[in-house]
Amino acid sequence: MKKNLSIPIAIVFAGIIIAGAFFYSKEDNSRSPKIGSQDQKTGNAQIGPSPVTKDDHILGNPDADLTMIEFSDTECPYCKRFHGTMKKIMEEYGKDGKVNWVYRHFPLDSIHSKSRKEAEATECAAELGGNNKFWEYINRLYEITPSNNGLDPKELPAIAEYVKLNKTAFEECLASGKYSKKVEKDYQDGIRAGVRGTPNTIIMAKDGRKVVISGAFPYIESVPGIFYSPKFNQQKELCSEETKLCGVKIAIEKLLNP
């Protein structure tokens, strides 16, 4: 009997371990990535991100009911995973103007030394081709990067060519370093908002309600053994007691339908 019980117990334990693999922190890189946002509980966390302006990269209706500000690192494997989740969200909620997506840079220099220059590359794409080319460029970057500093810098102009930008003009822009200050501005905005790792996404409603998601949460998930673990403290925002499902979709629905 004890032998038979060991299998389900092992499955639950494995689920809790998996739950931790969602988040990269800038503060203690020796620890495994974790699902919670404990690192964010600082005095700065109450400030919130800067208001969205024309200088931001916005996908979707600027006047949407919900704005999702994502702080991300292009070499973070969890950001790569969450990028797919955000694309799903925009497919379902962006087309009818309910949700928009604002992307801000948060390079974790100590572990991803290439991400800052990659962030500058996305800004050069925006300069040369506008907002649409920014999104095309960053989508392609996340698509091909192996993550964890694995992208060859030679791929940056190749991506520019792939999205039909002028390669020479792109290389000149990137070499100039002209967007280093903009990337740093995003990073400092994240610090003031309490961001301590990536991905970090703040979903904001027009009436001031908000949900902060620290980690690569799935779009929708039916593994209550993971998300209802004692270490997970966002059941109210990210889970449904009725369906026993958890995910970013649940948070969006609760904000859209209070």
Note the pLDDT tens digit of each residue in 30-52.
222 333 322 333 334 447 899 99
Count of beta carbons in the 10 Å neighbourhood of residue 236: 10
Residue 235 lies in a domain: no
Task: Check pLDDT > 60 for residue 208.
Answer: yes
Q: How far apart are CA 212 and CA 238, in angstroms?
A: 10
Q: Where residue 82 sits, what CATH number does that domain have?
A: 3.40.30.10
pLDDT of residue 65: 98
pLDDT tier, 5 (very low <50, low <70, confident <90, very high otherwise)? very low
Task: Check pLDDT > 60 for residue 16.
Answer: no
Which has the closest alpha carbon to 132: 205, 46, 59? Answer: 59
Token couple for 17: 């371990």
Residue 229 lies in a domain: no
Total domains in the fold of the chain: 1
Residue 234 lies in a domain: no
pLDDT of residue 224: 59
pLDDT of residue 22: 59
pLDDT of residue 257: 94
Say which residues have a Cβ less than 8 Å from residue 168's Cβ, sequence separation at least 6: none
Residue 228 lies in a domain: no
Q: How far apart are CA 191 and CA 197, in angstroms?
A: 10
pLDDT of residue 11: 29
Residue 48 lies in a domain: yes
pLDDT tier, 162 (very low <50, low <70, confident <90, very high otherwise)? very high
Give residue-wise pLDDT tens across range 120-159. 999 999 999 999 999 999 999 999 999 999 999 999 999 9
Residue 244 lies in a domain: no
Range of the domain at 181: 2-218
Q: How far apart are CA 10 and CA 23, in angstroms?
A: 23
pLDDT of residue 227: 64
Mean of the per-residue pLDDT values of the chain: 84
